[in-house]
Amino acid sequence: MLYRIYALAKKELKQVRRDGRTLFIVFFFPIFSLVLFGYALNFDVSHIKIGVLDQDKSELSREFLHSLSASEYFDIVRYFNSQDEINQALDQKYVQCAVVIPINLSDDFYSKKDAKIQYLVDGVDGNTATLAMSYLNLATQNLSNKYTREVLARTGMHTYQPVEIEPRFWFNPDLKTSQFLIPGLIASLLTTLTVLLTAIAIVREKELGTIEQINVSPVSVIELLIGKIIPYVLISLFIAGLILVAGYFLFGVQIKGSIILLFMTVLIYLFACLTIGILVSALADSQQVAFQMSMMFSQLPSQLLSGFIFPIESMPKALQIISNIAPAKFFLIALRAILIKGAGLEAFWQQWVYLLIFASIFLSLAALKMRKQKA
């Protein structure tokens, strides 16, 4: 049995090595996708283009504008002379936000009246608009606190703050979205690649007619499936390592947890994905159908139902239940726990169990289908 499995695995590796197109997809596609999505898919907002209508032109307004331009979040690209210029700039997207400083800002501030600054934000992109408003509010609050402390210091008074809030962010203190998205991208790439490669492997045997020779040989269905899976497990492990190395050098994604646990997690997940590919290959009769089914079973669930981009907790209850059919969901929980949190096995051992259950179900269905075809 071991000799037959070894012979099948060796044969499959030789076929992959001779297929230049497959090798190109295997080694180029993951890195290209990682670079493309890693830089393009980024929710961090910086260098927001703002325009300014400063009607006060006082020391206070100049200091406020200087605090904005000194921040990495804002770039002052225009100065306006009228409200009409603001409307035109927002309509044509020359600026994303307009700051209107009223003519009596400094007078109201120093006379202890409510000093107001108006922000006009382009709300087409809700995420950017929300973050821009948060940054502007924070900048305004910092300026207000600074002048409040100076006024109180001159009068010899001190503020009393009975409760002081000191927020701290664990695991990702800089709140970089790349630290959250890159693990999800790794899961999505591994899912798509492994399912696609394995699905095409057996279908290719059907199209070439060699599957008939295998069926009349002493090779059992389980031996055939294991022999087909082993080569792609080795290839996928190499690809996973390549993606992790690229993620470290390009986006600073570090492995904070155990490398051994990471290896075991990736190995179990790859086994689950490869069994999906085996099931697809057992159902499909051509490489074109196998390709379409692979994309449907792998890419859509891994991107939409895994928590890669959209938090599962914010989905409707029905979709939260449906998301349990995506192995990438459980892999992503374990992967983020290892890479970002540095957690131990006690934090995600249940995810291993779920992935092993998935792998067992898919492998059993594939074996049952192929036994029927062989009979």
pLDDT at 214: 66
Q: Are 37 and 64 contained in the same domain?
A: no
pLDDT at 47: 84
Q: Are 37 and 124 contained in the same domain?
A: no
| Rounded alpha-carbon distances, angstroms, from residue 71 to 64, 173, 298 | 11, 18, 42
Q: Are 194 and 66 contained in the same domain?
A: no
pLDDT at 38: 73
Q: Are 20 and 64 contained in the same domain?
A: no
User: Tell me, what CATH number does 114's domain have?
Assistant: 3.40.1710.10
Domain membership flag for residue 161: no
Instruction: Supply the range of the domain harboring residue 135.
Output: 48-155
Share of the chain above pLDDT 90, in %: 8
Domain membership flag for residue 162: no
For residue 180, pLDDT over 80 is answered with: no
Domain membership flag for residue 170: no
Domain membership flag for residue 168: no
The 10s digit of each residue's pLDDT in 120-131 is: 888 877 777 888
pLDDT at 199: 80
For residue 208, pLDDT over 80 is answered with: no
Among the listed residues 121, 124, 102, 123, the one whose alpha carbon sits nearest the alpha carbon of residue 113: 102
Cα distance from N-terminal residue to C-terminal residue, the chain: 21
pLDDT at 57: 86
Q: Which of 52-66, 70-84, 143-157, 185-199 has the lowest mean pLDDT?
A: 143-157
Q: Are 106 and 6 contained in the same domain?
A: no
Mean pLDDT score across all residues of the chain: 81
pLDDT at 170: 75
The 10s digit of each residue's pLDDT in 307-332 is: 877 788 878 888 888 888 888 899 99
| Rounded alpha-carbon distances, angstroms, from residue 172 to 43, 133, 337, 344, 360 | 14, 22, 12, 18, 35
Q: Are 182 and 283 contained in the same domain?
A: yes
Q: Are 211 and 142 contained in the same domain?
A: no
Among the listed residues 290, 292, 269, the one whose alpha carbon sits nearest the alpha carbon of residue 202: 290
Nearest-angstrom CA–CA distance, 155 and 157:
6
- Sorting pLDDT into bands at 50, 70 and 90, what band is 265? very high
pLDDT at 260: 92
- In 102-243, where do the E strands start and end? 118-121
Q: Are 58 and 38 contained in the same domain?
A: no
Q: Are 257 and 131 contained in the same domain?
A: no
Domain membership flag for residue 199: yes
For residue 276, pLDDT over 90 is answered with: no
Q: Which of 39-43, 149-153, 265-269 has the lowest mean pLDDT?
A: 149-153
Q: Are 128 and 253 contained in the same domain?
A: no
For residue 366, pLDDT over 70 is answered with: yes
Q: Are 111 and 247 contained in the same domain?
A: no
- pTM, to two decimals: 0.73
Phi (first) and psi of residue 121, to 5 degrees: -115, 135
For residue 248, pLDDT over 90 is answered with: no
Widest CA span in the chain:
97
Of the spans 88-92, 280-284, 290-294, 299-303, which averages the highest pLDDT? 88-92
Domain membership flag for residue 160: no
Counted domains in the chain? 2
**Average pLDDT, stretch 145-154?**
68
Q: Are 345 and 268 contained in the same domain?
A: yes
Domain membership flag for residue 208: yes
| Rounded alpha-carbon distances, angstroms, from residue 20 to 15, 26, 113, 194, 246 | 10, 10, 74, 17, 23
Classify residue 20 as left (phi > 0), alpha (psi -120 to 50) or beta: alpha
Classify residue 219 as left (phi > 0), alpha (psi -120 to 50) or beta: beta
For residue 153, pLDDT over 80 is answered with: no
Nearest-angstrom CA–CA distance, 247 and 300:
23
Domain membership flag for residue 209: yes
